[in-house]
């Protein structure tokens, strides 16, 4: 078995400790973009989980939106859910609250607990693929498990 990088291994260990039998796959090629991840996974673009971090403009709290690879997040809608205006977080904020760099942010294992919204469009898929801590690592999981792991609110995000 190929040795995973430390960040990808951290996600594999977390999955194992939570009792999930999912396998992190680290590719030689990039999985940074949703299209690259779909190409590596051999799945539809819609099955890719994009982990996007926003920041409450008043509270400064991190907000995680897990959206389908084909969708663009409606920030106004997320602001309504969050009860305050939001803005897309910068790279430093993302690394601070998640512990990971943009392009490899997994849906779990963050430095801070955060309010999470899960794209209802994932309900059409049995399996989805998410980043696993690096811009080259992904793992496949069920939508049900994604919701359980993240405690995300299933809602319209586009």
| CATH code of 16's domain | 3.90.960.10
pLDDT over 70, % of the chain:
99
Using DSSP bridges, classify how beta strands 86-88 and 48-56 pair: parallel, antiparallel or unpaired: antiparallel
Average pLDDT over residues 42-47: 98
Backbone φ, ψ for residue 153 (5° rounding) = -85, 120
Per-residue pLDDT tens over the stretch 52-94: 999 999 999 999 999 999 999 999 999 999 999 999 999 999 9
Per-residue pLDDT tens over the stretch 88-124: 999 999 999 999 999 999 999 999 999 999 999 999 9
Predicted pLDDT of residue 70: 97
Residue 16 lies in a domain: yes
Conformation bin of residue 133: beta by default, left when phi > 0, alpha when psi is -120 to 50: left
Residue 33 lies in a domain: yes
Can you tell me the distance from the alpha carbon of 146 to that of 86, in angstroms, rounded to the nearest whole number? 24
The residues that bridge with 64 in the sheet, in sequence order, are 53, 116
Residue 78 lies in a domain: yes
Residue 129 lies in a domain: yes
Residue 1 lies in a domain: no
CA-based torsion, 105, 107, 110, 113: positive or negative: positive
Say which DSSP state 14 is in: H
Measured CA to CA in angstroms, residue 31 lies from 9, 102, 119, 137 at distances of 16, 11, 20, 7
Per-residue pLDDT at 1 exceeds 90: no
Q: Mean pLDDT over all residues of the chain? A: 97
Say which DSSP state 122 is in: G
Predicted pLDDT of residue 36: 97
Which residue intervals of the chain are DSSP H helices?
6-17, 34-41, 75-82, 91-98, 143-150
Provide the domain limits for residue 34.
6-155
149 pLDDT band, cuts 50/70/90, is: very high
SS3 assignment, position 28: coil
Per-residue pLDDT at 46 exceeds 80: yes
Measured CA to CA in angstroms, residue 85 lies from 52, 59, 88, 136 at distances of 16, 9, 11, 32
Residue 12 lies in a domain: yes
Q: Count of domains in the chain?
A: 1
């Amino acid at each position: 078995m190929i040795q995973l990088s430390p960040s990808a291994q951290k996600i594999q260990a977390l999955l194992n400790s939570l009792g999930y039998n999912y396998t992190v796959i680290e590719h030689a090629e990039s999985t940074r973009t949703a299209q690259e991840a779909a190409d590596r996974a051999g799945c539809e673009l819609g099955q890719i989980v994009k982990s996007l971090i926003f920041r409450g403009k008043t509270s400064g709290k991190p907000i995680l939106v897990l959206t389908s690879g084909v969708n663009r997040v409606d920030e106004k809608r997320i602001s309504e859910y969050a009860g305050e205006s939001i803005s897309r977080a910068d790279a430093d904020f993302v690394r601070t609250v998640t512990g990971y760099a943009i392009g490899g942010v997994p849906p779990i294992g963050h430095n801070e607990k955060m309010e999470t919204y899960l794209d209802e469009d994932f309900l059409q898929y049995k399996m989805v693929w998410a980043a696993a801590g690096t811009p080259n690592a992904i793992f496949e999981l069920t939508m049900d498990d994604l919701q359980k792991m993240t405690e995300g609110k299933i809602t319209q995000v586009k």
